[in-house]
């Protein structure tokens, strides 16, 4: 897809938040993103376009590792029940994803969460691979900067040539802001979302830290831009800071935190 088509897709995705696009319920495909900051359930239609999504903030998974199994199951059950009511359609199966750096054993826990919530796991894919389902990068990179970690995949001629992740994401930015302003982490999260522009001088070293991780993970350097996705750098100015630090063009997208969740449903 061109960047314009990706951005249109994401605008359509944002519009179906708890508000399904009518499809008659046929041939829906579901995805569940067990993130560090939020758990997201997505649905796409037979035409691969967004149909529905919903999310619940939850601290049940840390960097792909399920740290509170029972709570994770409860969150997925809630999301599933709300989706079934909204879509008038059962959710029998869904795909899910794990961060690239997580081992096979931990990623299996994600499958068990779905199964305990009454959903068969039809596929488990790494998060960057899921994002690629939507972005379809030919020459370039994908950097998924979430709550806890940054995963980077480099593509050449549409083929993956490297994939890895490093710790560091939105939660670390919250810690920096909380420390600098002497507020608690929850308050820092609110300030970051509502007034990041006022605190860019505090946040910049943290963003550069993330950029440093992205640069180290972009080996070899891609021919095209690095697509910045995930929620952690979703404020004005962040892409410019990353681009300057990495010395490489950056492509930003609206609603960047929806790329991986919808990619999971598409996979
Ligand atoms: N509008 C916003 N402005 C700034 N930051 C935001 C915004 N929305 C979300 N975030 C930040 O994005 C982060 C969550 O991003 P995302 O949903 O991609 O993470 P996740 O998938 O839960 O985590 P991970 O992929 O690391 O497991 C949080 O740190 C949150 O503070
Ligand atoms: Mg994520």
Q: What are the pLDDT digits (tens) for 121-179?
A: 999 999 999 999 999 999 999 999 999 999 999 999 999 999 999 999 999 999 999 99
Q: How confident is the model at residue 107, as a pLDDT? A: 85
* Tokens coding 118: 């009454």
Q: How confident is the model at residue 48, as a pLDDT? A: 96
CA of 39 to the centre of ligand 2 (A): 9
Which of the listed CATH numbers 3.40.50.300, 3.30.420.40, 3.40.190.10, 3.10.560.10 matches domain 3-127? Answer: 3.30.420.40
Could you say which ligand is closest to the alpha carbon of residue 190? Answer: 1
Specify the residue with its C-alpha closest to ligand 1, atom 1: 193
Which of the listed CATH numbers 3.30.420.40, 3.40.50.150, 1.20.58.340, 1.20.1420.30 matches domain 132-258? Answer: 3.30.420.40
In sequence order, the 6+-apart residues with CB closer than 8 A to the CB of 77 are: 117, 118
Question: Crossing angle, helix 170-181 and helix 200-217, to 10 degrees?
Answer: 150
Q: How confident is the model at residue 9, as a pLDDT? A: 98
Q: Please work out whether the CB of residue 98 comes within 6 Å of at least one atom of ligand 1.
A: no
For residues 12 and 2, give the distance between their C-alpha atoms in angstroms, rounded to a whole number: 15
CA of 228 to the centre of ligand 2 (A): 12
Q: Where are the domains of the chain?
A: 3-127, 132-258
Q: Please work out whether the CB of residue 37 comes within 6 Å of at least one atom of ligand 1.
A: yes
From start to end of the chain, where are the E strands?
A: 29-34, 38-44, 50-57, 61-62, 65-66, 93-98, 120-126, 140-145, 149-156, 159-167, 226-229, 250-252
For residues 35 and 191, give the distance between their C-alpha atoms in angstroms, rounded to a whole number: 21
Question: Under a CB-based contact definition with an 8 Å cutoff, are residues 33 and 261 in contact?
Answer: yes
Specify the residue with its C-alpha closest to ligand 1, atom 4: 193
For residues 80 and 73, give the distance between their C-alpha atoms in angstroms, rounded to a whole number: 10
Ranges of residues in the chain with a pLDDT under 50 are none
Task: Assess whether the region 3-127 and the region 132-258 belong to the same CATH fold.
Answer: yes
User: What is the CA angle 24-29-31, rounded to 5?
Assistant: 130
CA of 170 to the centre of ligand 2 (A): 11
CA of 261 to the centre of ligand 2 (A): 8
């Amino acid at each position: 897809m061109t960047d314009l088509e990706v951005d249109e897709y994401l605008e359509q995705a944002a519009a179906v938040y708890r508000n399904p696009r009518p499809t008659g319920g046929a041939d829906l495909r579901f995805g569940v993103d067990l993130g560090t900051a939020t758990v997201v359930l997505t649905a796409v239609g037979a035409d691969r376009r967004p149909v529905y999504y919903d999310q619940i903030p939850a601290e049940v998974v840390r960097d792909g590792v399920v740290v509170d199994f029972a709570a994770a199951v409860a969150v997925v059950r809630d999301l599933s029940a709300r989706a079934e009511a909204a879509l008038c359609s059962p959710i029998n199966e869904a795909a899910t994803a794990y961060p690239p750096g997580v081992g096979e054993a931990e990623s299996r826990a994600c499958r068990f969460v779905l199964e305990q919530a009454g959903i068969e796991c039809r596929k488990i894919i790494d998060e960057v691979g899921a994002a690629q389902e939507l972005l379809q990068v030919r020459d370039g990179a994908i950097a998924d900067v979430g709550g806890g970690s940054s995963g980077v995949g480099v593509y050449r001629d549409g083929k993956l040539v490297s994939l890895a992740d490093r710790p560091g994401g939105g939660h670390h930015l919250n810690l920096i802001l909380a420390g600098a302003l002497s507020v608690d982490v929850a308050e820092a999260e609110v300030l970051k979302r509502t007034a990041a522009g006022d605190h860019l001088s505090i946040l910049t070293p943290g963003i550069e830290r993330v950029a440093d991780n992205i640069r180290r993970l972009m080996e070899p350097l891609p021919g095209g831009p690095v697509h910045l996705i995930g929620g952690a750098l979703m404020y004005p100015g962040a892409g410019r800071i990353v681009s300057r630090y990495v010395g490489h063009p950056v492509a930003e997208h609206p609603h960047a935190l929806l790329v991986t969740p919808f990619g999971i449903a598409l996979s």
